[in-house]
Chain A
Amino acid sequence: MSVDRRELIRTGGKLLVLTTVAARAVEHVMAGTVDAIQRELEAEHWWAMAIDIDKCIGCGGCVRACKTENDVPLEPFYFRTWVERYRVPAVDEEHPHVDSPNGGYDGFPAASQADSEAKSFFVPKLCNHCAHSPCVQVCPVGATFESPDGVVLVDKTYCLGCRYCVQACPYGCRFIDPRTHTVDKCTLCYHRISRGLTTACCEVCPTGARALGDLKDPDDPIHEFLRTNMVHVLKPQMATGAKVYYADLDGSVR
């Protein structure tokens, strides 16, 4: 096949134009995505939460405070935060007995006799405000987004109610609000923390088992917490960049 000069220039020119257009398109598409690390460096705050398992007494105060503060439906299927009780038989770490009656809203009934031998503790749960959130990734319209200071939020005026994010969250932190038909989740009390207050759940915790932390603030006690405890996040194999840190978390916790 012979190619004359005119044809070569013509084809080359077309390719050049196409490449330019493609590069511009890619640039445009990528313009909205910010690298999480870059964002963390530039942010004023970088919010996280520290939870000390040994201090939680399962009173459910945080669950009640959260529902009141954030107007969460009272039915037992909608929680921005909830508490689980684990009873782990000493010989069978893989099969813990777990319950969370009404999300721990009313506290917990006494453990049965059979479980009295087991190791027992409470695990408060909430959105992990992941730095690489699977829920943010899947939202088809960007109604779920990460704030500049690392909080995962939902724009309820934009949410389609497709529930893909509910499926994508490995921790079961999301639900559909039956009143608005849009998704709802923990906002880390963004309306409070952006005014210098702590979250409702941390505010009421009688034992100080949970504490809001700003990783950007060198004087924040969370640094001490992370330095002096054996710390774990939930489901680290999911690589979500979870920012709720647990001290003394048992390996049986899912």
Chain B
Amino acid sequence: MDSLLAQVDGFMYPNEIELQWSVLIVLYPYITGLVAGAFILASLERVFNVEAVKPTYRLALLTALAFLLVAPLPLQLHLGHPERSFEMYLTPKTDSAMAMFGFVYLWYLMGVLVVEIWLDYRKDIVLKARSSTGPVRLFYRALALGSDDIGPRALEIDDRVGRFVTIVGIPSAFLLHGYVGFIFGSVKANPWWSTPLMPVVFLFSAIVSGIALVMLVYMTVSWLRGRTVDMTCLDTIARYLFYAFLIDFSLEVLDLIHRMYEADESFKSLDFMVKTRYATAGVLTLIGIFAMRWNVVIGGQLFSKSFLGYTVYKMGFATREGMLPAILLMILPFAILWLLIRVLPPWLGEGDRGVVETAEG
């Protein structure tokens, strides 16, 4: 514990010396960002009829679901009393940004993502239930929620409702991740966080990381299945990735220039961080966006609110909020995705429509 004191440079309020939010709270906006980004990519095909990205549509939805299921876990692990977290739903405090996030999350999971995936897969689920036997049949029957009608009229309704859900889903995805940005951006005590740009910056870096993730998952899955990658699709995705990155980068630079030019009372305490930000902001990868989230969450806690000193963050390894649980939490969504792909293969009905292949990943 005394080593904490040795890390302090200058002066920090005594209660500030222990950092409050760990690497897990870096993961949380990062993972939510991947969800929002993946969903927005999926919406391109559905709402804006970008045919080229069609091969990734279902994959993007499943990726979003896999990561969304994991998103609350780092928060749970970080809480002093995880068993009380449900209070946030039972007795929320309406003017707390964090309390309202719980509802945004729930809405996005149950109101948008699950509904959209179910509608899109309903036909395949019903066909799978019809063609299989035993417990597998029972499982898919349950997944179909008792529906059995896959006539053209029913499918058309599926499609129309699905389209509507996607249209509702886009602002919901924006809300989901913009809200995460607001949780940080609305803390007026912290000048590194407190900017109205925060939700927008979070949103665009979410789109960047989400698109990049789906692109990588698509390429990996294609490689594993021994199929050729659809280059038109990849080109289109890469183009969107580039646009989103351009906006994201511009916003980050705008924020930086604004801080440097204003040079208010907090700036002298922050300038050591501005330098590290230059190094991280330029990197276009998933790692880059993770670095940005790191920069916000951890960076925002390294300096004292007295602006008279700063400290460093030493991450534990096998501790509850250390590197190991963080790594496991990042592997978990891929495991869930693998499972989801087994249950609901995105390439069902690919090519020969109506004939159900026994597709194995």
Residues of A within 8 A of B (CB): 29, 32-33, 75-79, 82, 84, 94, 96-100, 102-103, 125, 134, 137-142, 158-164, 166-176, 180-182, 238, 254
B93 is contacted by which of A79, A140, A180 (Cβ under 8 Å)?
A: A140
Are A172 and B99 in contact (CB-based, < 8 A)?
no
Q: Closest Cβ of chain B: how far from A70's Cβ, in Å?
A: 14
Contacts of A76 on B, CB cut-off 8 Å? 5, 14, 17
Roughly how many angstroms separate A169 CA and B20 CA in the complex, as a whole number? 12
Contacts of A180 on B, CB cut-off 8 Å? 80
Are A141 and B15 in contact (CB-based, < 8 A)?
no
Are B21 and A167 in contact (CB-based, < 8 A)?
yes
Contacts A140-B88, A141-B93 given; indicate if A254 touches B15 (C-beta within 8 A): no
Residues of B within 8 A of A (CB): 1, 4-5, 10-18, 20-21, 75, 78-81, 84-85, 87-88, 91-99, 102, 183, 187-190, 268, 301, 304-309
Residue in A closest to B301 when the chains form the complex, CB atoms: A167
Are A172 and B13 in contact (CB-based, < 8 A)?
yes
Further 5 A-B residue pairs, CB within 8 A, beyond A100-B11, A159-B80: A77-B18, A139-B96, A140-B96, A160-B87, A167-B189
Contacts of A167 on B, CB cut-off 8 Å? 20-21, 187, 189-190, 301
Residue in B closest to A97 when the chains form the complex, CB atoms: B11
Residue in B closest to A182 when the chains form the complex, CB atoms: B80
| B interface: dominant SS | loop
Roughly how many angstroms separate A188 CA and B1 CA in the complex, as a whole number? 28
Report, nearest first, the 7 A-B pairs whose CB atoms are least far apart. Answer: A161-B80, A172-B13, A181-B80, A170-B189, A140-B99, A254-B306, A98-B11
Are B11 and A99 in contact (CB-based, < 8 A)?
yes
Contacts A134-B189, A138-B98, A238-B188 given; indicate if A173 touches B15 (C-beta within 8 A): yes
Contacts A103-B14, A172-B304, A175-B15 given; indicate if A141 touches B79 (C-beta within 8 A): no
Which of B93, B188, B301 has the most C-beta atoms of chain A within 10 angstroms of its own C-beta? B93
Contacts A159-B81, A254-B308 given; indicate if A169 touches B189 (C-beta within 8 A): yes
Q: Closest Cβ of chain A: how far from B144's Cβ, in Å?
A: 33
Are B80 and A176 in contact (CB-based, < 8 A)?
yes
Contacts of B91 on A, CB cut-off 8 Å? 141-142
| A interface: dominant SS | loop
A160 is contacted by which of B5, B14, B80 (Cβ under 8 Å)?
A: B80
Are B14 and A172 in contact (CB-based, < 8 A)?
yes
Are A182 and B305 in contact (CB-based, < 8 A)?
no
Contacts of B99 on A, CB cut-off 8 Å? 140-141
Contacts A159-B81, A167-B21, A238-B189 given; indicate if A172 touches B305 (C-beta within 8 A): yes
Residue in A closest to B75 when the chains form the complex, CB atoms: A162
Contacts of A97 on B, CB cut-off 8 Å? 11
Residue in B closest to A253 when the chains form the complex, CB atoms: B306
B95 is contacted by which of A33, A99, A166, A175 (Cβ under 8 Å)?
A: A33
Are B81 and A172 in contact (CB-based, < 8 A)?
no
Roughly how many angstroms separate A142 CA and B4 CA in the complex, as a whole number? 31
Roughly how many angstroms separate A160 CA and B99 CA in the complex, as a whole number? 11
Contacts of B97 on A, CB cut-off 8 Å? 138
Q: Closest Cβ of chain A: how far from B264's Cβ, in Å?
A: 10
Are A162 and B98 in contact (CB-based, < 8 A)?
yes
Roughly how many angstroms separate A152 CA and B313 CA in the complex, as a whole number? 30
Contacts of A166 on B, CB cut-off 8 Å? 15, 20
A77 is contacted by which of B4, B11, B98, B304 (Cβ under 8 Å)?
A: B4
Roughly how many angstroms separate A172 CA and B11 CA in the complex, as a whole number? 12
Contacts A160-B81, A162-B98, A176-B80 given; indicate if A79 touches B189 (C-beta within 8 A): no
Residue in B closest to A174 when the chains form the complex, CB atoms: B15
Are B92 and A141 in contact (CB-based, < 8 A)?
yes
Residue in B closest to A184 when the chains form the complex, CB atoms: B15
Are A77 and B15 in contact (CB-based, < 8 A)?
yes
Q: Closest Cβ of chain A: how far from B89's Cβ, in Å?
A: 10
Residue in B closest to A33 when the chains form the complex, CB atoms: B95
Contacts A167-B189, A170-B189 given; indicate if A161 touches B81 (C-beta within 8 A): yes
Roughly how many angstroms separate A98 CA and B305 CA in the complex, as a whole number? 13
Roughly how many angstroms separate A254 CA and B187 CA in the complex, as a whole number? 18
Roughly how many angstroms separate A138 CA and B93 CA in the complex, as a whole number? 8
Roughly how many angstroms separate A125 CA and B95 CA in the complex, as a whole number? 28
Contacts of B187 on A, CB cut-off 8 Å? 134, 138, 167-168
